[in-house]
Amino acid sequence: MILISLSAIAQVEQLSRFELVLSQADDNENFQVASLEEDGLLIYRKVEINNEDQLHLIKVDTSLQQSWQGYIGLAKNLTIAHIRLHDQVVYTLFKSSGFISGNFQLLATSVSNGNYHIYTIQNLIPFNPTELVITDKGALLGGYFNYRPLVLFFDFTTTRARVLPRFFNEPGELNQIKKNTDGTIDVVVCSKNYERKKSLWIRNYSAGGDLIKTTVLEPEDNKHLIFGRSAKMPNNEQVVAGVYGSRDSEYSRGIFVAEVNPAGEYKITYYNFGDLQNFFSYMKANRERRTKERIERRKIKGKKIRFSYRFMVHEVVPYGNQYLMLGEAFYPRYTYMSRDGSFGYYGNPMFRSDRIFDGYQYTHAVIIGFDESGKLIWDNSFEINDVKTFELQQFVKIAPDQDRITLLYLHNNLIRSKTIQGNQVLEGKSTDPMKARFDFDVVKERDTEKSKLDYWYPNHFFASGIQVVRNQNRESAFRKVFFINKLKYQ
């Protein structure tokens, strides 16, 4: 009975592995992977051949067997900005190599055979595209101009681009461009209202870029809505979940959830980080106990509970008769470099210390379950160890099942996972090395770089990166490879 119980909890199985051996010439070429869902994966990289820039594409199916590959010529001085899948076509957006973009190029490649078409998007506004969404009628490029968010719509039929209405007005932050199942697009922008409080503007557009309606979520007194993400629920209600603060700052004090009906009426519920049962579970046991005791003392005395975190909300998704919110906490790290300076008035040497940004350090992921009215049902967390990145991105992914949810992420060739059921932990953190290709292959933690774990198709993930693999029983003692591992959740 014990053996059966333990095997039932095991959730992630590694099914197969794909490798491309890297030559010395390939060392500087960065392979990347995009999900084609049930059609497989697209491996891509930009290369230079005979002084010409080309895009190298390799399509593999869900068994990681190659279907086709090819090269597509590119204009000079372009870099890959985004890649998206829509209706069996992969769209790759290219921008100028400099930070300020001129015209864009959009490459549309057929998943089935690699046939392609290139669109040139005329652009007179110097901006860097941070978002790309594809609809049946066009492409939406989101970014900033002069600290003001904008969304450019490129029409596939007329091959003309225009800025969507209601932008360029005020400084703000582009939180999300979300394609809904009904074909419409929601654009979520954080900006200050007339009372100078951060609020959320949710603008709903048709697939052709026409404005349908605008909903403005305004916070209660002494609160700011810092960041939010939107999701449409099966009952046609809209949910917006994010973080709020008590002042105009990037540090948040807690989570908010807004239920928005089709008429634009909404109700916002706020949850302080101190109100969550498992928010501090990532801490060591003694520190967590002291933190919770401090919270209880302040509650008894009627004092406010204040915690400040940098927190990014990544996903808001339906889950049975609930919906889930997944986010990650992090903080910026700095190093200090002392430099010899000049001499002071009395001849004493003066030294200067320069602060240098050294990446974002992640602490933990938080997952919360809400009911249809926005009431918090449960919360849980997952400690993130040793992860530091210079670009904010989502590390922890979720694998939901009917009666349990597995949280997992990849770091240094190790798959780290945790299985929960509401507030309860069914299986604590487990660590499993990535499966190698051959018997006696050995990969050390320090020999893995640029690794990531991402969603593929239902119940499946893929892991990719670059590794140095050692094997004393084969002709080559070691090899440097770009790898893809197929993982199944069950």
DSSP per position, 314-339: EEEEEETTEEEEEEEEEEEEEEEEEE
Block residue for tokens 């810092």: 226
pLDDT of residue 159: 96
Classify 348 in phi/psi space as left (phi over 0), alpha (psi -120 to 50) or beta. Answer: beta
The sheet carrying 211-217 orders its strands as 173-179, 185-192, 198-205, 211-217
How big is the CA angle at 484 (ends 480 and 485), to the nearest 5 degrees? 120
Q: How many helices (H) and strands (E) does the chain have?
A: 2, 33
Torsion of CA 345, 349, 355, 356, to 10 degrees: 130
CA–CA gap between residue 40 and residue 65 (Å, rounded) = 9
> How many Cβ atoms are within 10 Å of 145's Cβ, its own excluded?
16
Number of alpha carbons in the 13 Å side-chain half-sphere of residue 393: 15
Whole-number Cα distances in Å, 465 to 24, 58, 107, 413? 17, 16, 24, 9
Residue type, 222: N
pLDDT value, residue 3: 37
420/406 Cα distance (integer angstroms): 6
Taking the C-alpha atoms of residue 345 and residue 31, their distance in angstroms, rounded to an integer, is 56
Q: Which residues contact 91 (CB under 8 A, 6 or more apart)?
A: 83, 84, 85, 106, 107, 108, 109, 132, 134, 139
pLDDT at 12: 82
Per-residue model confidence (pLDDT) at position 102: 78
Q: Are 313 and 227 in contact (CB under 8 A)?
A: yes
The answer to whether the beta carbons of residues 208 and 223 sit under 8 Å apart is no
Predicted local distance difference test score (pLDDT) of residue 342: 55
Other Cβ atoms closer than 10 A to 39: 18
Q: pLDDT at position 355, please?
A: 84
Low pLDDT (below 70) residues in the chain: 1-11, 24-29, 98-101, 168, 338-353, 475-476
pTM (predicted TM-score): 0.89
